[in-house]
Structure 1
Amino acid sequence: MINLFKFFNIKSVITIIVCTITLGALSGCFGKQKTVSNLSTEEIGEQIKHVTNLEEMKEGDHKKLQKLYNISVDEVEDFILFTAPTNIKADEVAVIKVKDTKNVEDIKGKISSRVEKKSKSFQDYLPDEHFLITKHVLKTKGNYVLLAISKDSDKIEKTFDEILK
């Protein structure tokens, strides 16, 4: 009888140890991560600045956002916008955090309209700049919208994707 009692105790102790180790290992997988909705566009912009040079570009404000994309301040929570310093350059980088996720596709459509107009105006005017427009990146992740018209648009897209995993 005592041997049976010892057998159950040892078996119970081993089971408890195995369960504790398993729970400890699994709890490491559930660490706090910065959620997509908590990132500011400035943080994303800083990471983009590491992969491309935005220093020569002009930083846009709410008026520029409204003028270029027909997007009102009420529709966005936060944004960064960089445009080419002259009309003979096509470069443009924008990261927009939309207030309501229901409006993300609408915002993307407005930006797409801008890209189409820009493409038509550069088509016969400056072929090298038109090429940048044709290989632009316009994508969404959560409530974020990215537009990248740049020679480094692929790097900008990769950075955007990595930040908003």
Structure 2
Amino acid sequence: MKRFLFGLLMFAIGMGMLTGCSSDGGTSEELSAAEVGERIQQTVSLQNMKQGDLTKLQKLYQFEADKVEDFILYTASSNVKADELAVIKVKDASDTEHVIEKIQQRIEAQTIKLKDYRPEEYFLIEKHVLKTSGPFILFAVSKDVDQIESVFDEVMK
């Protein structure tokens, strides 16, 4: 009986170790924005969008580059389209509110620009997602916004 209980205990410990070591990449702080973007691209096509650089990021959101550790940015191929995806990893959590305020200013500007001119694009802006998780900020304007948000939430678990 002791041998059976010892075997069972060893099995339970072994399973606990395997379960504890089967992490899918660590915490969200260890991720890069590019890794989050890759996961989003596995679910949603960003083919009709242009990838942006740091200059474009600063032009659209008007915050200082030194607040950003890493980012991905995709914008619509035309300025009459509202599609936009940004995953921003801030260097310091205290900068999160500032970056969100700047993104909200962008949302307001796009709303004014497209409200009467392009109602179908205005609808996309109204259904945008702007959320944070740890050091990451997600901003998405897309017909696939629900899928983008779902992938972001899954990656941040």
TM-score (norm 1): 0.85
- Higher mean C-alpha displacement, 63-72 vs 129-138: 63-72
> Cα offset for 1:14?
4.5
Q: Which of the pair has the greater relative contact order for Cα pairs under 8 Å at 6+ separation?
A: 2
State yes or no: 1:86 paired with 2:78. yes
Structure 1 partner of 2:66: 74
Gaps of 5+ in 2: none
d(CA) in 2 for partners of 1:96, 1:141: 10
Structure 1 partner of 2:128: 136
> Cα offset for 1:122?
1.1
Structure 2 partner of 1:155: 147
> Cα offset for 1:131?
0.1
Q: Where does 1:43-122 land on structure 2 (aligned, <5 Å)?
A: 43-122=35-114
Give the letter for the 2:11 counterpart: I
Query: RMSD across aligned C-alpha pairs, in angstroms?
Result: 1.6
Task: State the secondary structure of the residue aligned to 2:46.
Answer: coil
State yes or no: 1:123 paired with 2:123. no
d(CA) in 1 for partners of 2:45, 2:18: 38
Give the letter for the 1:30 counterpart: G
Gaps of 5+ in 1: 1-9
State yes or no: 1:19 paired with 2:9. yes
Tell whether the 8 Å contact from 1:65 to 1:72 is kept in structure 2 after alignment: no
> Cα offset for 1:40?
1.8
Tell whether the 8 Å contact from 1:80 to 1:96 is kept in structure 2 after alignment: yes
d(CA) in 1 for partners of 2:124, 2:59: 21
Task: State, as a whole percentage, how many aligned pairs show the same letter.
Answer: 46
Structure 1 runs of 4+ aligned residues shifted over 4 Å read none
Task: State the secondary structure of the residue aligned to 2:9.
Answer: helix
> Cα offset for 1:17?
3.1
Aligned residues: 155
> Cα offset for 1:25?
2.3
Task: State the secondary structure of the residue aligned to 2:120.
Answer: helix
TM-score (norm 2): 0.89
Task: State the secondary structure of the residue aligned to 1:80.
Answer: strand
Task: State the secondary structure of the residue aligned to 2:43.
Answer: coil
The equivalent position to 1:30 in structure 2, one of 20, 44, 53, is: 20
> Cα offset for 1:91?
0.6
